[in-house]
Every structure is written in C-alpha cells, then in structure tokens.
Amino acid sequence: MTKSKIAAVSLNTTPLDFTGNFESIRSAILAKESLDSELILFPELSISGYGCEDAFYRPQVWEKSIQVLNQLKSISPNQVIVVGLPVFVDSFLYNCMAVLYQDKIQALVPKLNLANTGVHYERRWFHAPKEFQNKIISLGEEQIPFGNFVFTFPQWSFAIEICEDSWSSFKPSQWYNLLGADVILSPGASHFAMGKQTIRKQIFKETSRNQNNLQVFTNLCGNESGRIIFEGGAFFASLGNIMKEGPRLHFTPFAVTTHCFHPSEIRAAKARQFREPHPHLTPNEIPDIPLRTRSQAERKESSRFLVTDKREENKEHSTANTESLSVFEEFTKAVSLGLYDYMRKSKTKGYTLSLSGGADSATCALLVSAMVSMSKQENGEDIFPKLGISETQLLVTLYQKTKNNSPITEEIARTLSEELGCEYHSISIDEMVSQSVGIIESVKGTKLNWKEHDLALQNIQARVRSPLIWLLANLNGHLLLSTGNRSEAAVGYTTMDGDSSGSIAPLAGVSKEFLLDWLDDIQKGNNRFISPKHSVQMLRTTKPTAELKPLTEHQEDEKDLMPYPILNSIERKLVYLAMSEVDSLEELKTEFPWETKEQLFGYIQKFKKLFGISQWKRERLPPSFHLDEYGLDPKSSYRFPILSNET
C-alpha cells in the first residue's frame, strides 16, 4: 500500500529579516528530513516574521515578502511548499499562506479568524474576510487564485486553516472536510504558555477524530520579536491520535518533523464513521485546485516522494522528541530559549546581573547558565565563538552591598557564581549612598532618618546600584537583566530606576510563589536542565527580603506585603478572572482557612490600592516574556489605565 509523506517545519524567524528567514526556509526545504516529502508545511507569516507590529503597514514589507516567495517557488518544484506571508489585495492586507508547486504560486489562502486576545493583536494589521473567498488576483505578471480551496492530488487532498482558524468554534475545516479534504494543514504562530501544548494536542486530536482526517500542526519557535516565545512542537493528529510530535523549544534555526500516512486509511475511516451533519450549512462554494499529474519523466524524478517499502518507512528521519516536560522544566527551557534569542538577535555579548543573594536574581543566573548548556547541546560546542561571544564572560555578576545586607546573602551570591563558573565581583556602595543622602540633606536643610523618611532611604540604595551595574553592563557589551517577578509588578514592589532597571525582565511573567516552588523543584533533583545547588539550599533557608532597612528591623517581603501565596491568589482572581471582591473573599476563606476574614479582606484592599497606583511603574518596566496563562506587561498582555478612580 502506497504511503504519502508530509514534513512539518517549526522555524525560528526574525521580523523583517527577509534574507535570514529565506535562508532558514531554504535550508529546511533542502534538509535530508524533507527531501522525500510530497508536501512541506511552514508556520504562519514565516517569510516576514510574525511580530512585525506596525511595520506591517509598510508596502516594502509586502513587496519583499513576494520577492522571497518568488525565490522559494523554484527551490524544489516537485514538492508542494506551503509558507506564510502578508499579502495586500484590493484595499486590504491579509495574513496568507502561499501554496507553491511546479515553479508556480498555485494559490494564496487568507486567514479567516484573526487572533485578537491576550498577546495577539492581528486585527490591528490584517483584514478578515467574512466569507470564503474565490477570486483571481495579479501578482506581477501572474494571475493567482486567492481564497479558500481544496487542493487535490491524484491520491489525496488537503486544505489550509491558519492558526486561530483551528481554535475557532466554527472551524473552516468543517466545510473543507465535507468537500473531501483528507488532510488539514494548520500553520501557526501560537505563543508559549506553560501547559498550552497539552491543550493544543487535545484540540487537534478531537478535531481529527470528529472529522476523520489527518491534522498537521506546525509552529514558530523561539523568542521572535522580544516579548513572545514560540515553542515549535509540530505534530500530526490522525483519527483521534497523536501520531508524531516534533521537538519543542528547540535552539536550532528549524526542526523538521515528518509523518507517512495511508490516504486510503483516512478515507476508509470516513466511510465507516463520518456522516454529513444536520442541519446542513452551505457556505459559498469552495473550489478544487488540482495539482496536475506529472509527466512520466517527472514521476520518475519524484518517485522518491512515495514511501512504499516498510524498510524505507523505518528509515524515516524525524527530529521528533515526545519527551514530556514538567511545568517547571517548560519554564526553564522557554526562558532559556528566550534569553538565547534575545542575546543573539540583539547582537550583544551576554548578560550582566546584579546578584543580590535572593531568589529572583539567583533564578536569572541559573537560567542564563541553563541557556548556555542547552544552546551548546543543540547547536554544537562552538556556537558561542561562532556568534562572537566569549563563553567565560557571557554572564557577569555583581554583588553591591550596604550595611543593611546580611553576610549570608553575600555568601549565597558568591557561592552561586562559583557553582555556575561565571565572573563575580563584590563591592560596597555605602559611601555612595551616604554621599547621595548628604547632598539632598544639604538641599532640604534637614537630617534624614528612618522614622520619617523610611521609603526614600530604602529606595536610594537601589537607585545607587543602578548606574553602577549599567556601567558594568555597558563595558561588557551586555544586556542588563532586571530581576522583578509578576507579584512585584502587580503591587509595585520595586524601585523605579533602581532594581527595575534593565534591558529585559525574564521573570516578570510568573509569580514569586512559582519561582520559589521552581527552586525547590531543582533541589529535589527533578529538573533535568539544572542540578541542585548548595547556594540554592542556603537561599531557601532564608526569608525573601529586600535588605534595604537596618538589619535590626528584620525586614521581610511578606511582612511588607502579604504572604506570597495569598498575593498570587488575589492577583489571579481580581486581575485575570475579574472576580468581585465579595466572591474573591469567599474563595480566599476556603483556600486560607487559618487567616481571619478581616485579615483576608485587608489583603484584598491593600492589593487593590497597590495595583491601581502601580500601573505607571508597569508601563516603565523592561520588556518581559509571556509565560503563564496571563501577564501584566501593558504592551503585550494587560492594559490598565494609569489614571483612574482606583488610582
């Protein structure tokens, strides 16, 4: 029985890098994994890059995308290549997939459902047709079918629904399936969130079972444009089962996952199980586009596309890696990949970090170290010399102590740096803090004291640290890591132009509670990417503290704010779930029965006040990664007024 083979490519693109994206696409087409595939599927907007933002308005972006498309169509003319790009038609810009075959653009297929929730704002740039399209447009001297089609080979047929189309309640594939499509291609730019791949697979498994077909999903991978991480993870779902899954969160430019299938098995399943739904929905007619039968010579040339021998089937090469990751390992690999791409694409030499001896800065250091290990494992030991980066100077840490710092935090910072093998320095900033305070005392004509000027005296320590760590980062040619987490962003527990300073805030997408649990998971030996550390063990025996008050006051973060699990729960209820205070309080009483109702109500009121007055701080924080089911980055996740009745 003759089998057919499809290749799904997950791709690391860069917005507006037409040359680089072309080379990655070309390399994937010519990769040995792809050579005997009848069809090669690439992700959404893979020619231009997904995250072009308002640069999508530039005509040269569409024009260069078409130029690249014309270069691609002749690379492997006897294979069908399906690749994404923006296309301007009549008065509208569309998010399209192009179908290339036999040196021609066979058709352009527009996206019908535009993603416009969470981190996606596609309706800002693209037009969504209200019904299926079928027309002819001009691209240069070519006349190209534009719209929604079923593409037919002699043995099987396919149709395309783009990313959000596959998540919609009314999927275009429902109609494609009625018209006989055996395979549904779903190219995506689906952002990473912990646990989201499980949801994806559930959706496509059920759709393939319900429609009795083969569903092919592929995705972008990596930190494409700064804030959003894509996770790759191409997979094939057939008749209710995941048949093959490709690598997730890979550090390589692309990964090819292939699958061989019997079209006759799909059609037999349809005959046995599929029945036309009632009532019958009749959209505009969706035409067929036959992919013409090749000549005898062409068939002989392309016979390598058909896998007919069991021995050959066993030789099928795939980079598939179905090894499951825990939620903490997903976080580890996603942030490490985000840091790798941010550094690589910004053409900087590494990261500088103000290491405090606390959980957040330690997490940043651990993740940079994990990034180094994973990128070398996947790209070769010489990857950093190739990038012009000295591995020994890739991470530089600085401990900036005052008289309010305890000896234990300095020991933690030093020990962690030694365990990671990174460059470490320790300096005292007491003199600079005293000079700054003295200058302002002379201006104000008063002596500052902890009773009346507590907050100002705390903040000046963090602000004095900022220019020094920035100077060191500049000298290193590095990006500066900001160490704040989402819990601190929610309540403004950060010093502006102090510990909030940085080029990127890799932890701002997750709560403090999650980070502490992540460190504990490492110490249990559960994280395959990071081994237990003596420094982390020391860290977890100390209470989280800013160390900005005199040591005699025993400052602790949870005393300043509230217990982190309660803060995290209140934040999720009020911000993400938009629950009322009354309903939130009732659930908090169940979650934290040891707290009094009055205490919990006080925490809610404190959170509301701090959240409202801290929006201006969130507007000024460095870019962060979207990692959880929601985020607080106002440019990608959660928009809130700087001024309102709640501020």
Q: What is the mean pLDDT of each run of 10 residues along the chain (647 residues)?
A: 91 97 98 96 98 96 97 95 97 97 96 90 94 92 94 94 92 92 97 95 95 97 95 97 96 97 93 82 77 54 39 38 84 98 96 96 98 97 96 97 94 98 97 96 95 94 96 98 96 93 96 97 97 97 90 90 96 96 97 97 97 95 94 90 85
Whole-angstrom distance, CA of residue 220 vs CA of residue 253 = 10
What pLDDT is recorded for position 236? Answer: 98
Q: Are 401 and 412 in contact (CB under 8 A)?
A: no
Whole-angstrom distance, CA of residue 58 vs CA of residue 442 = 54
**Residue stretches of the annotated binding site for deamido-NAD(+):** 459, 488, 617
Rg (C-alpha) for the chain, rounded Å, is 27
Whole-angstrom distance, CA of residue 633 vs CA of residue 617 = 11
Q: What is the pTM of this model?
A: 0.92
The reply to whether 163 belongs to the active site is yes
Single-letter amino acid code for the residue at 194: M
**Residue stretches of the annotated binding site for ATP:** 483
Q: Give Cα separations from 28 to 9, 19, 31, 185, 596 (angstroms).
A: 7, 14, 5, 18, 60
What pLDDT is recorded for position 78? Answer: 94
The catalytic residue among 73, 111, 244, 549 is 111
| Strand duo 142-147 + 150-152: pairing | unpaired
The contacts of residue 254 (CB under 8 Å, 6+ apart) are: 9, 10, 11, 12, 24, 27, 28, 31, 221
Among residues 198, 191, 163, the alpha carbon closest in space to that of 41 is found at 163
SS3 letters across 486-542: HHHHHHCCCCCCCCCCCCEECCCCCCHHHHHHHHHHHHCCCCCCCCCCHHHHHHCCC
What pLDDT is recorded for position 303? Answer: 37
Among residues 231, 294, 256, the alpha carbon closest in space to that of 78 is found at 294
All domains of the chain, ordered by start, with CATH?
Answer: 4-291 (3.60.110.10), 327-560 (3.40.50.620)
**Residue stretches of the annotated binding site for L-glutamine:** 190, 196
The reply to whether 401 belongs to the active site is no
**Residue stretches of the annotated binding site:** 190, 196, 459, 483, 488, 617
DSSP string across 366-379:
HHHHHHHHHHHHHH
| Strand duo 235-238 + 214-219: pairing | antiparallel
Distance, first Cα to last Cα, the chain:
69
Among residues 114, 209, 215, 202, the alpha carbon closest in space to that of 160 is found at 215
The catalytic residue among 5, 33, 38, 44 is 44
DSSP string across 174-220:
HHHHHTT-SEEEEEE-PBP-TTHHHHHHHHHHHHHHHHTSEEEEEEB
What pLDDT is recorded for position 274? Answer: 86
The catalytic residue among 96, 163, 260, 422 is 163
Residue with tokens 């009346």: 452
Whole-angstrom distance, CA of residue 632 vs CA of residue 612 = 13
